[in-house]
Structure 1
Amino acid sequence: MSGLKIVTIGGGSSYTPELVEGFIKRYDQLPISELWLVDIPEGEEKLNIVGTLAKRMVENAGVPMKIHLTLDRREALKDADFVTTQLRVGMLKARGLDESIPLKHGCIGQETNGAGGLFKALRTIPVILDICKDMEELCPDAWLINFANPAGMVTEAVIRHSNIKRVVGLCNVPVGMQKAAAKMLGVDDSKRVHIDFAGLNHMVFGLQVYLDGEVVTDKIIEILTSDEESGPSDRNIVNMGWEKDFIKALGILPCPYHQYYYQTEKMLNHELEAASKEGTRAQVVQKVEAELFELYKDPELAIKPPQLEKRGGAYYSDAACNLIYSIYNDVRDIQPVNVRNNGAITGIPHDSAVEVNCVITKDGPLPITVGELPVAVNGLVQQIKSFERVTIEAAVSGDYHKALLAMTINPLIPSDEKAKVILDEMMEAHKAYLPQFFKEGHQVGASY
């Protein structure tokens, strides 16, 4: 059995130690001979810090895995078996703009929802499609495992606009929801809990919850509507608690991101207050990252530090390791991932990306049929899918009017007039990372 070659683009990320830990834990069944960590020149310092820690971790574990650090993406991709993407175009400075500009105009400022989600997609999708072009040439049979946000839109862009067929998008939200449900049920082992996930990335619902194979959805709803429990949370998102009668009426498990849609005013007021006191979430994360990288520099550190869980993306990397392990070993377990719909959810095009439970095989994830979503949530999911589709078209074409249309479709933007004001300001702020909109003779906002 020959060793595997895995390439991680965005290798200088603070999440990388979790990825390395996951590969080390699974080495006996996932024999990785080469792990290539790739970054861009602006990320070289972080790449060297993280990469040196990764080498110490591998040496400490006694695993014969060679760690390579490079700024040459094409060198790394040649003959790769799996490619993982965890990049952030424009880095945390761009995230800060995604959060602060909408807030200035009285709208939710969040990196994957509303105006911020639109612009993160506009910056990220062209870069991912460029990576796909390199993969088509250098490793056409490799699996692309993407957890660069917005993961659902990125996955759908690859499905629709590249020749890469082996693509899966990942998110840590379902993992967090499963762990939260286990905690609510008083269960130490979250694997005893199973949730029927269905929806879109950051718009996923738990339709049924099971404990040891027995349906416990009503029990979860009962616990969720008690005074002691406020539901699944995410370190990137404050947990505001839910209106109890609303959750009883909904009858299914929402994810933390649903607060932006069902509690927009409350979330907006919290964001405005938090931004005035401690800065945007991007500014908070910058401080956490600075502390993490100081830890990573310690020559005595040879394991993933527990402080990494404060970063907000805990379990992303472990989910990626688990997915790669299951594909490689044809495990046929069930995992929630972002894949081509292929009829799993009725009413969503087959070639759109959805977030659903899948059976993970050596040929990739096989979506488990859901059928129609509950009528109470289907409309919101369809509206967000329309937003995603038009956003992807704008990202690929550089069409200003499609970007404006996407902004206006999004339910977190209250009017077309406000959509245009925010769009134009964010276009100018992110100009360096949006070349498709600033081609010669292609002026943003001009009539043509």
Structure 2
Amino acid sequence: MTKKLKPQSIVIAGGGSTYTPEIILMLLDNTDTLPIRKLKIYDNNEERQKIVADAVEIILKEKAPNIEYLATTDPEEAFSDVDFVMAHIRVGLYEMREQDEKIPLKYGVIGQETCGPGGIAYGMRSIGGVLELVDYMEQYSPDAWMLNYSNPAAIVAEATRRLRPNAKILNICDMPIGLESRMAKILGLNSRKDMDVRYYGLNHFGWWTDVRDKEGNDLMPKLKEYISQNGYSLEALGTDPKENDPSWMYTFRKAKDVYELDPNTLPNTYLKYYFFPDEAAQHSNPNYTRANEVIDGREKRVFGECMRITDMKTAKDTNFHIGDHASYIVDLTRAIAYNTHERMLLIVPNNGSIVNFEPTAMVEIPCIVGSNGPEPLTQGEIPRFQKGLMEQQVAVEKLVVEAWIEKSYQKLWQAFAASKIVPNAAVAKEILDDMIEANKEYWPELK
């Protein structure tokens, strides 16, 4: 006889996000393996959340009228009686992301959401917001788990390690999942779940060292052959979605150049920003960056579809796409709720998992996940090339968190100057001073 699964209560923090509808649709598609009794969305921006909330209400009435639903801006209402908090907040919204990207470009430096100066600026905004959510959860539902995929995940993970060391929070990223889905297509597999991977690194800064099918056959040679020619682009297979933004298409193709630096491994695409920062800056339009692409593309598409659903009073013919981002969240929730011991990539304290690396670094590695959280899998020693790069990047992440804690201008300047993306300390200071001006509302006042 199949054991009846206990229904869960979930709050999505960042209810006004463009990713909220697809996460909810993914949850509803999986209620046979992850039953839900209550679903709430929470945001401190009522106007933005309402666009999503009204559409979600119609989706739930049609697909799962038995699930209790609430959209709220009240933390007590949102975080009381929940088993899981799914957090994907963006402090400062896309308007501040635009600043993160455009300010560095004034100095010929790439502006990017999670890498270099842009990632540092965003991290300084995100730390306080994520800590606030952790505190609400611990106050109103102390037994709940937070699954945090708010960016920049590396800096946020280091901040929670330092400042909320006992919190039940898992920091995660869907980027490797998206690339593994591309690998599966390159290999002709049905799903990334048909593969077992070994991977190590930091968030947006890692390498696959082994990819096998469920029978244990080594899939790396075929992947290496394809990626050395095409990167992660699927254009050669004729299966790359047409709606992909141009900046992503370029990023997927560029992986072939990143791969050449270490043909023993397969790289995360974000490494292009560290290895080819000048080229990345040259390929950027200082007047129209990735933030503008998202505002004009994804944001318009998602909010437009939400408003259409609300106007039509039905979601029966909705064109929302459920991405890898969402499926990963469901798998992780199930692993904790029902002790499934799923193997997943998570951002966790190293503590010897990478033998020759900083124990307190927040590393991204495979873990076995059960109801007691993650059990990291040992990755052994890593080569000098990756170790050196990772040590430099960990220094940046730790300096940012120390700067936030100590309100230290000096440490934040050091973080900017230590970034591989920034050419020198003078440019680092100029970008930092502009960033301070732009982020007055969001950063602690630095001394």
Given the two structures, how large is their TM-score scaled by the length of structure 2? 0.90
Evaluate the alpha carbon distance shift between residue 393 and residue 198 of structure 1 in structure 2; reply closer, same or farther with a 3 A threshold: same
Q: Which residue does the alignment assign to 1:446?
A: none
Q: Which residue does the alignment assign to 2:213?
A: 211
Q: Which residue does the alignment assign to 2:37?
A: 33
Alignment equivalent of 2:283, drawn from 270, 278, 281: 270
Which segments of structure 1 move beyond 4 Å, counting only runs of 4 or more?
A: 232-236, 242-246, 303-309
1:25-424 counterparts in 2 under 5 A? 25-40=29-44, 43-212=45-214, 213-226=216-229, 229-231=230-232, 237=248, 238-239=250-251, 240-242=253-255, 247=260, 249-271=262-284, 274-276=285-287, 279-288=288-297, 289-299=299-309, 300=312, 301-302=314-315, 305-306=318-319, 314-424=323-433
- Residue 376 (structure 1) shift: 2.4
Aligned partner of residue 431 in structure 1, secondary structure: coil
In the alignment, residue 302 of structure 2 is paired with which amino acid? L
In the alignment, residue 11 of structure 1 is paired with which amino acid? G
Confirm or deny: 8 A CA contact 2:259 2:266 kept in the other structure. no
Q: Which residue does the alignment assign to 2:237?
A: none
Distance in 2, Cα, partners of 1:245 & 1:94: 29
Deviations 1:267-307 (A, max 9, x none): 11111xx344xx11111111121232111112345269546
Evaluate the alpha carbon distance shift between residue 284 and residue 304 of structure 1 in structure 2; reply closer, same or farther with a 3 A threshold: farther
Aligned partner of residue 215 in structure 1, secondary structure: coil
RMSD, aligned α-carbons? 2.2
Distance in 2, Cα, partners of 1:186 & 1:25: 25
Distance in 2, Cα, partners of 1:293 & 1:242: 32
Deviations 1:230-249 (A, max 9, x none): 22698564324355696274
- Residue 184 (structure 1) shift: 1.6
Aligned partner of residue 250 in structure 1, secondary structure: coil
Q: Which runs of 5+ in 1 are unaligned?
A: 443-448
Aligned partner of residue 28 in structure 1, secondary structure: coil
- Residue 35 (structure 1) shift: 1.4
Evaluate the alpha carbon distance shift between residue 165 and residue 341 of structure 1 in structure 2; reply closer, same or farther with a 3 A threshold: farther
Q: Which runs of 5+ in 2 are unaligned?
A: 235-243
Distance in 2, Cα, partners of 1:39 & 1:138: 16
Deviations 1:199-236 (A, max 9, x none): 1111121111113321121221122113xx22269856
Confirm or deny: 8 A CA contact 1:181 1:193 kept in the other structure. no
Q: Which residue does the alignment assign to 2:435?
A: 426
Distance in 1, Cα, partners of 2:94 & 2:304: 17
- Residue 324 (structure 1) shift: 0.5
Evaluate the alpha carbon distance shift between residue 119 and residue 55 of structure 1 in structure 2; reply closer, same or farther with a 3 A threshold: same
Evaluate the alpha carbon distance shift between residue 142 and residue 348 of structure 1 in structure 2; reply closer, same or farther with a 3 A threshold: farther
- Residue 386 (structure 1) shift: 0.9
| Segment of structure 1 superposing worse, 364-373 or 180-189 | 180-189
Deviations 1:75-110 (A, max 9, x none): 211232111111111111000000000001110110
Evaluate the alpha carbon distance shift between residue 280 and residue 368 of structure 1 in structure 2; reply closer, same or farther with a 3 A threshold: same
Q: How many percent of aligned residue pairs carry the same amino acid? A: 31
